[in-house]
């Protein structure tokens, strides 16, 4: 099955990876962080702001593959501090609403850059 490699212009330019890989109607979205299209961190030190930007990047990514945020069926979230859970849950709840995707949460010791508080990767299925 052919694969499509997509790097949406509304998300920061990746270095050594692809933001979105689509094979048929299955979409894999690389871990997204709280960076804007220019590569600037949004909400440094603020988990809720970084989570909102991260989720906006996920939505941009799934749209670039022809889907919508409701097509996201599974996410894996990486955070640095359990104390950030309330802000994460608030932003995630606002974004996904009453039918959130399957989710795995990991608390880890570090991300790619020290100012990142969260990273979320996703899998989506577009269409039926």
How far is 128 from 126, CA to CA, in rounded Å? 7
The per-residue pLDDT for 53 is 98
pLDDT digits (tens, 9 = 90+) for 37-91: 999 999 999 999 999 999 999 999 999 999 999 999 999 999 999 999 999 999 9
DSSP assignment string, 59-109: HHHHHHTT--GGGEEEEEEEES-GGGHHHHHHHHHHHHTTSPPEEEEEE-S
- In angstroms, the Cα distances linking 95 to 6, 91, 92, 104, 114 are 23, 6, 5, 17, 25
Backbone angles phi and psi of 25, in degrees to 5: -105, 10
- In angstroms, the Cα distances linking 101 to 10, 23, 77, 92, 115 are 23, 20, 12, 10, 26
Average pLDDT, the chain: 97
- Region 100-115: mean pLDDT is 97
The per-residue pLDDT for 32 is 98
What length does the chain have?
A: 128
Number of domains in the chain: 1
- Region 11-37: mean pLDDT is 97
Checking if the pLDDT of 1 tops 90, the result is: no
CATH code, domain carrying 52: 3.30.1330.40
pLDDT band at residue 127 under the 50/70/90 scheme: confident
The two three-digit tokens of residue 26, written as one number: 């299955």
Checking if the pLDDT of 13 tops 90, the result is: yes
Structural domain boundaries, residue 83? 3-125
Checking if the pLDDT of 5 tops 80, the result is: yes
- pTM score: 0.96
The per-residue pLDDT for 43 is 94
- Region 21-43: mean pLDDT is 97
CA 4 to chain centre: 19
């Amino acid at each position: 099955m052919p694969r499509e490699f997509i790097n949406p212009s509304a998300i920061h330019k990746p270095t050594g990876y692809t933001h979105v890989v689509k094979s048929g109607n299955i979409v894999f979205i690389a871990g997204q962080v709280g960076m804007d299209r220019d590569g600037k961190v949004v909400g440094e030190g603020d988990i809720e702001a970084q989570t909102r930007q991260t989720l906006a990047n996920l939505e941009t990514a799934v749209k670039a593959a022809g889907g919508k945020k409701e097509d996201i069926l599974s996410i894996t979230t990486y955070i640095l501090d359990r104390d950030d859970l309330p802000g994460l849950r608030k932003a995630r709840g606002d974004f996904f609403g009453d039918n959130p995707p399957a989710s795995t949460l990991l608390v880890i010791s570090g991300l790619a850059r020290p100012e990142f508080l969260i990273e979320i990767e996703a899998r989506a299925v577009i269409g039926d």
